[in-house]
Amino acid sequence: MENLWISATYDWGVTVRVDKPSDLREPVLAWGASNLRDLPWRRTRDPWTILVSETMLQQTQVARVVARLAEFLDQFPDASACAAVSAGDVVTAWAGLGYNRRPLMLHRAATQIVAVHAGEVPSDFEALLALPGVGPYTARAVRAFAFELSAAVVDTNIGRVYARVQGSKLTAREVQAFADEASSDDQPWLWNQSVMELGALICTKQAPSCGACPIREICAWAGEGDDPAQGSAAVSVSQARFEGSDRQLRGRLVDVLRSAPVPLSKLAATMKTDPTRAEKILAGLQRDGLVVTTNDHARLP
């Protein structure tokens, strides 16, 4: 296949080799219109639901989020309900979803939404970025999926698709530039859902189904040679070993604290580690705001 490369220079000085990213729109939109999975966050445009689901989906399997989202929203149907309880209550409701700083930040975001935005999740990009725990990906996702406003979302699935289509490793700025160029401004919800789904179902990390891909003919990689997605920005990498890690011990303590405070004298036994390491982990949890100590006990905030 002949490569008709076009060099596009963006305002911030990044030059990206692109094979007309806008050519992706028609085949990807057509594919997405009939191939999107029926997921609960795709049945709504409620901004709070979208913010919660996007927070849950960060490094958590889709099936687990599907199983827990409705239960969480029953307890916290809007930002006001979330802000009205303690951070510890939100962390407790998050049990089994991992990464306990996420519910802590969601509670802080809810508190700010109530204080600054009268309880309504904002649609403005900068206002979304100003919320605790909300970065560029989540801000764009809320804009596209809740408000159907123009936004070029880049998650690990989308980053993988774009690196392979481009045929080269992309920096963070390059992959966002490619996304901006490819994005469909008149169908932002369907576009972002479709290219994300393409990465999740077809252009997978392992054994991609290139033969079933709607953009195979305009993909520079198409499953041949070294995978350009490896080492490209926005593409997930293998995590450090969990078993025996500080992450495991932090999670172990928070899980116990969901039920009741723990005497400081029993921290090491609770975490199943030595006292020195237990004190270090407790200090980290305190810095993060996940644990407080009162009356010689550790508890959730």
Confidence of residue 233 (pLDDT cuts 50, 70, 90): confident
Tokens of 248: 């495991």
Residues 155 and 30 in one domain: yes
- The neighbouring-strand residues paired with 2 are none
Last residue of a domain, one of 116, 145, 174: 145
Residues 63 and 195 in one domain: no
What percent of the chain lies above the pLDDT cut of 70?
91
Active site residues: 54
State the greatest distance between any 2 C-alpha atoms of the chain, in Å, as a whole number.
72
pLDDT tens profile 270-285? 999 999 999 999 999 9
Q: How far apart are CA 189 and CA 28, in angstroms?
A: 13
Confidence of residue 152 (pLDDT cuts 50, 70, 90): very high
Residues 51 and 122 in one domain: yes
CATH of the domain at 280: 1.10.10.10
Decide: 19 and 107 in contact? Cβ < 8 Å: no
Residues 55 and 138 in one domain: yes
> Does the residue 239 lie in any domain?
no
Write out the residue range of the structural domain in which residue 130 sits: 46-145
Q: Per the structure, how many domains does the chain have?
A: 3
Residue 247: predicted pLDDT: 87
Task: Give the DSSP letter string of 28-82.
Answer: HHHHHHHH----GGGS---HHHHHHHHHHHTTS-HHHHHHHHHHHHHH--SHHHH
Decide: 228 and 162 in contact? Cβ < 8 Å: no
Q: How far apart are CA 10 and CA 129, in angstroms?
A: 22
